[in-house]
Amino acid sequence: MFKTNLGKLINGDALEFIKTLENDSVDLILTDPPYLYNLSKRENEQINEKSNITKSINKYINAIYDNNLHNSFDINTYLDEFYRISKNKF
């Protein structure tokens, strides 16, 4: 944990840490969810495969689906906890 006069910065498993916080106790939540978690294979197939970057993205997306990782991030669980701990309900 990194503390300043402005607040605290915590690096760790967000969901596990959030569960330890009291209701209505947080001013700001800054998070970095997994990228491309909601991109479907069908959308992936529509990406133009002419560039190396696109080929790399396609390989990454296919690996996510082949290993069923696209279902491993449940955004609703996080949003429920964010709402619970937020001082100003959004």
For each of the chain's 90 residues, which pLDDT tens digit applies?
888 888 888 888 878 888 999 999 998 888 776 655 555 555 555 555 556 667 777 777 777 777 766 566 677 888 899 999 999 876
In this structure, the answer to whether residues 63 and 87 fall within a common structural domain is no
Q: Based on the domain organization, do 4 and 28 belong to the same domain?
A: yes
Distances (CA, A) of 1 to 17, 22, 44, 78: 12, 18, 38, 21
Please say whether the dihedral angle defined by the alpha carbons of residues 10, 16, 21 and 25, taken in this order, is positive or negative.
Answer: positive
Number of domains into which the chain is organized:
2
The model scores a pTM over 0.85 = no
Range of the domain at 51: 34-72
Q: Are residues 61 and 82 in the same domain?
A: no
User: What was the pLDDT predicted at 81?
Assistant: 92
